[in-house]
Structure 1
C-alpha cells in the first residue's frame, strides 16, 4: 500500500506518482497581522487573457500525449493507493475502509478509502469553523491566486495524472476525461475568479451629498457542505471551489466512486497554497455524514449534485431543521440533480446532423451525464431514414476498458458501479417483454469483467410511457415517432410527460418551427439548444442548470452561482453632521 507522510514516505519513481501528486503540501504559518493586513491594490483584476482551456483531441498523431497518459495510468495501477480523510490539514487513516475499483475491470482495486467516523465528521465541522476567520479575512486576490495557480498546475504538471485518475476511477475515455477533469475544471477555477472580481465591483449606483454607500460581500456566517458526484471531476471542483473562493470553508463528502481523482484535486489545491481547514475531505457513509452535518447550528449552505431523490431528502431535512430553529441562519440550498433530456426532430431538420448529434448526446460517457439525451422524438416521414443511419452509427461504436492500453481509443466504457449496472440491465430486460417497447438496437449487457451496457435504442408506441419519463442515467435512449402534423402537440407532450427540466434540443431548418419550440418549451429545459446536442455546456458560454425536478437552476459556469455563497452587507457612511432632530415639516 502507498502511504503519505504520516505513515510512510511516498517514493516518487518513474512508475510512481508524480512529485507531490498525492501528498499533502501546506503553506507555512501566517501571522495574525499578515492575515488582517489587506493589500492596497486598487481594483485588482484577474489576468486579462482569460479564455477557455483548449481541449486536446488526442489524435494518434500526438504520440507524446499518449505516452505521457500511459505513464500516468501506470502510476495508479502499479500499486493500490490508501486514501485518508483530510481534516484541518491532517491526513487521518481509519481501520474501516472501502475499495474504489476500476468499473471497467472490477477485480482491479485502485484505492482503499478511509471512512469517516461520527467523531471525524464533527472534527471536520470544527476544523472548518476554526479556519473561517483567517480565510474569510484574506484578501480575495489571495484566495483567487490559489485557484488560478491550481488551474495552471492542472493544465501543465498534473494534466495526465488528472486524466488517468478520472479514466481509471470513473470509466471515462480520454477525450471525455480531457473535457472534464482538465478543461472544464480549469475553466471553473479561472472563470469563477473573474466572476468574483465582477461581483465585488457591483456597488450601489445612487447616493446623496455627504454620503458614501458601499456593499460588502461577506462569506456566509457558518460553513458549507459540498456533496459531489462521480460523473464529473470538474463538478466536484466547482462545488468546493466556488464557496471557498468567496471566503467560506467547506466540509466535503466526495462520491465513493470518484475519491481517487477528488483526492488528487485536493492535493493540487494544497500545493497551490490552500490553507489547512478550508476544505475538509471526509469520505464516508452518506447518510451518517449528512445527518451530523445538517444537525449543526452553523450549517449555512448545501452545494449538491446528485440524484433528485437524495436532493429532495436533504431539502426536507434542512426545512425541518429550519422549522425547529436549529440554525443560526436560513441555509442556502444549491442543487443540480437529474434530467430526462430530449431531442425534438422537425421534418425540416438535417437528418445526418440530427442523427450524429443524437448518437453523441445519448452515448458519450455511457449516458452518465446529467444532460445526456434520454428521449428522442422523430417525425414519421423521416423515421426510416433516421433509424437506418442511427443504427449504422451505433453499430460502429467501440466499447472497452477505456483505461487499458489496448482500448484507450474506445468511444464507450463501463457504467460506474454494480448498482447502476443492475438498474440498467433490469430496464433492458423489462423492455424485452413490454408490448409497447421495441429494442431497435442494443439491449445486451455483461458484468463478468466490468459493468458494460450496450448502447441501446428503444422505440415506444406510447407517448406517455414511463421510459420517456424515468431517468436511467445510462446508455438507454427511448424514441417516439409522431405524425408530422402533430408537431405542436408533441411539444406539449415533451413538456408534460416528465417532471424534469434540465436540457433539450430542437433540430430544424424551418425557423418558424424553431420559434414555436423555443416558446412552448420555455420551462422544459434550463439549457435549450437549437441544432445542437443536449450535452456539452462550456463554462462562461452556456451557463448550466435546470429547474423543476432538475434542481435550483443557479447556473454553474456563470457568476450567478457565486452570489449564493455570500451575504451582502450594505454600509452607509455619513460625512455631514446634523444640528436638529426635527425635519422642516415639523416647523410648519
Structure 2
C-alpha cells in the first residue's frame, strides 16, 4: 500500500426512506420505538474507551411525553473533563500517525453501519429524545449524518491531494497536520447529524476530541458513540462528557493544550466563547482555531408577481417543520398587499390539516419543542403578541405543557415591521408576517436586509426576472443560503 495513491469512493447522498404503510422500515422503526420506550437506559460518559458512570443520575424524558422516563444519564464533574482531555492527548500520536486512508475507512464503515443495522436505533433515539417525527429524524440522524461521513472523506482526499508543484532536483510537499492539542466539540440539540459531524470532521483529519453535547441530545449521543466504536474508532479519539457549560469551560479554556473549538449554537454563547478564548490566548500552546455556526432570523419575501400558493407552502414548511427549531427555519415573512388574501387563505386551510402530537403517531406533522425553558420563552412572545397593539395572532396561538411541550404552529401579523418577533430569534413554531404595499418592493428589500444582524438563510419568490436580480443584489449580505422560488 505504500507504493499506491488511493482515491476515495465517489460519495452519493443516502436515499431517504418513505416509511410508508406496510414498509419494512416502518415496521422496524415502530418495533424499535416500542423497545426503547420499555428500556430504562443508564447512559454513561465515554472517556478513553471506557463507559463511565457517576452517583449523579439525571432523568431523560421525551419532550412530547414528559411523564415518561427513557432512562438517566450520568452527570460528570471537572475531574471527568480533565480525564477526557488526558485520554484524548494519550490517543493523539497514534491516531495522527495512522494513514489517512485508514482513518477514512473507519468513518466510511460508520456510514455503512448507520444506514444498515443502526438505522432504526439512531432514528428512534432521535425521535424520542428530541421529539422529531420520522421524516425529520430520517433526513437528519441517518441520511445527513451518513452524507457528512462519506462526503467529508472525499473532501479530505481532495485536500490531501492538493500539493505544490515540484521543480528539477526538488520535491515540494505540503503536509496537512492535525492541531497541536485537542479540539472541543460543543454541539446542539436540534440535529443529531451535526452533533456527530462536529466530532467526526476534525477527528477524520487526525485530531482528538472532547465532546460536550446538549443535555437534550444525550439520548442519541450514546448511539453515536456506540456507532463509532463498532466502526473501529480507537479509544480516546472522541471522548464524550456530560457536564454543564461553565464546568467544561473552566477546564477546557484554561488548558494549554486547547487547540480548537467546533461549535453550533446561539450567537450569544458563541460570542462569549470567542471572547473567553481571546482573553486566554497567552495560556495556549498555539492559536486555537475557532469554527462556529450560530443563529438565524431567516426570511421569506414575496414579490407581487409570485405564486401565492407557493409562497404559502414555503411559509408553512419553512417555519413549522421540526417545530421551527432549525437555524434555517423561516421566522419572518414579507408579503405584498395584493397577494396577502390568497396567501392567508392557503395557510389557513393547510394549518387546519396539520396534526400536533407524539412522534409515535406518524400522522403528526408537529411534535413538541425541546424543553420547558424553550416552551416558556416561545409562549411568552405569543402571549405578548396577543396583547400588543403592533401585532395580532391570526393563526394558532394555543399551547399546553400538561403532557408535553406542545405549541401550535402560530402566525403573527405585525403592522410594525420592526416588531420584536420580526427581529428576535425565537427558535420555535412561530412565523411573523408583515404585509407591505406593492409599490414598496425596493424599500422592503432594504428593510429585510437591515432588520436583523443574522444572515443565515433567506428566500425570495418572484416570477419577474428583474425583481429577482434586484433582490439578489440587495440581499447579497442578508443570507448565506439564498433560495429563489424555493
- TM-score class, shorter-chain normalisation, is over 0.9
Where in structure 1 are there 5+ consecutive unaligned residues?
1-38, 533-588
Correspondence list, 1:94-243, <5 A = 94-205=54-165, 207-243=166-202
1:449 to 403, 419, 427: 403
Q: Give the CA deviation at 1:58.
A: 1.7
Where in structure 2 are there 5+ consecutive unaligned residues?
none
Tell me, yes or no, if structure 1 residue 277 matches structure 2 residue 236. Answer: yes
Hey, which of these two has a bigger chunk of helix by percent? 2
1:88 and 1:511 mapped to 2: Cα distance?
57
Indicate the residue corresponding to 1:261 in structure 2. 220
How many residue pairs match? The answer is: 486
Indicate the residue corresponding to 1:54 in structure 2. 15
2:294 to 337, 344, 348: 337
Indicate the residue corresponding to 1:472 in structure 2. 426
Q: CA 1:208–1:41 in structure 2 vs 1: closer, same or farther (change >3 Å)? A: closer
1:499 and 1:193 mapped to 2: Cα distance?
34
Tell me, yes or no, if structure 1 residue 45 matches structure 2 residue 4. Answer: no
Cα contact 1:502–1:527 (8 A) shared by 2: yes
Tell me, yes or no, if structure 1 residue 382 matches structure 2 residue 339. Answer: yes
Tell me, yes or no, if structure 1 residue 298 matches structure 2 residue 241. Answer: no
CA offset digits 1:439-481 (Å, max 9, x no partner):
1101110000000000000010111122111000000000001
Indicate the residue corresponding to 2:315 in structure 1. 358
Other structure's SS at 1:457 match: strand
Q: Give the CA deviation at 1:41.
A: 5.0
CA offset digits 1:456-515 (Å, max 9, x no partner):
000101111221110000000000011111111111111111110100000111111111
Other structure's SS at 1:215 match: coil
Correspondence list, 1:543-582, <5 A = none
Q: Give the CA deviation at 1:289.
A: 1.1
2:58 and 2:477 mapped to 1: Cα distance?
41
Q: Give the CA deviation at 1:529.
A: 0.5
Q: Give the CA deviation at 1:208.
A: 3.5
Q: CA 1:80–1:320 in structure 2 vs 1: closer, same or farther (change >3 Å)? A: same
1:290 and 1:401 mapped to 2: Cα distance?
35
Q: Give the CA deviation at 1:42.
A: 2.1
Indicate the residue corresponding to 2:463 in structure 1. 509
Other structure's SS at 2:189 match: coil
Q: Give the CA deviation at 1:204.
A: 1.3
Q: CA 1:477–1:41 in structure 2 vs 1: closer, same or farther (change >3 Å)? A: farther
1:85 and 1:524 mapped to 2: Cα distance?
40
CA offset digits 1:377-432 (Å, max 9, x no partner):
00001111111111111111111101x3xx22210100000000000111111001
Indicate the residue corresponding to 1:8 in structure 2. none
Tell me, yes or no, if structure 1 residue 321 matches structure 2 residue 275. Answer: no
Indicate the residue corresponding to 1:370 in structure 2. 327
Cα contact 1:174–1:409 (8 A) shared by 2: no
Other structure's SS at 2:88 match: helix
Other structure's SS at 1:352 match: helix
1:380 and 1:74 mapped to 2: Cα distance?
49
Tell me, yes or no, if structure 1 residue 84 matches structure 2 residue 44. Answer: yes
Q: What TM-score results when the alignment is normalised by the length of structure 1? A: 0.82
Q: What TM-score results when the alignment is normalised by the length of structure 2? A: 0.99
1:213 and 1:401 mapped to 2: Cα distance?
59
| Segment drifting more, 407-416 vs 470-479 | 407-416
2:28 and 2:19 mapped to 1: Cα distance?
11
Indicate the residue corresponding to 2:26 in structure 1. 66
Greater C-alpha Rg: 1
Indicate the residue corresponding to 2:206 in structure 1. 247
2:115 and 2:56 mapped to 1: Cα distance?
35
Other structure's SS at 1:55 match: coil
Q: Give the CA deviation at 1:59.
A: 2.3
Cα contact 2:309–2:342 (8 A) shared by 1: no
Cα contact 1:100–1:256 (8 A) shared by 2: no
* CA RMSD across the alignment: 0.9
1:488 and 1:381 mapped to 2: Cα distance?
16
CA offset digits 1:241-288 (Å, max 9, x no partner):
000000000000011111111110111110000000000010111211
Other structure's SS at 2:171 match: strand
Correspondence list, 1:362-511, <5 A = 362-402=319-359, 404=360, 407-511=361-465
Other structure's SS at 1:106 match: coil
Q: CA 1:41–1:381 in structure 2 vs 1: closer, same or farther (change >3 Å)? A: farther
1:246 and 1:298 mapped to 2: Cα distance?
17
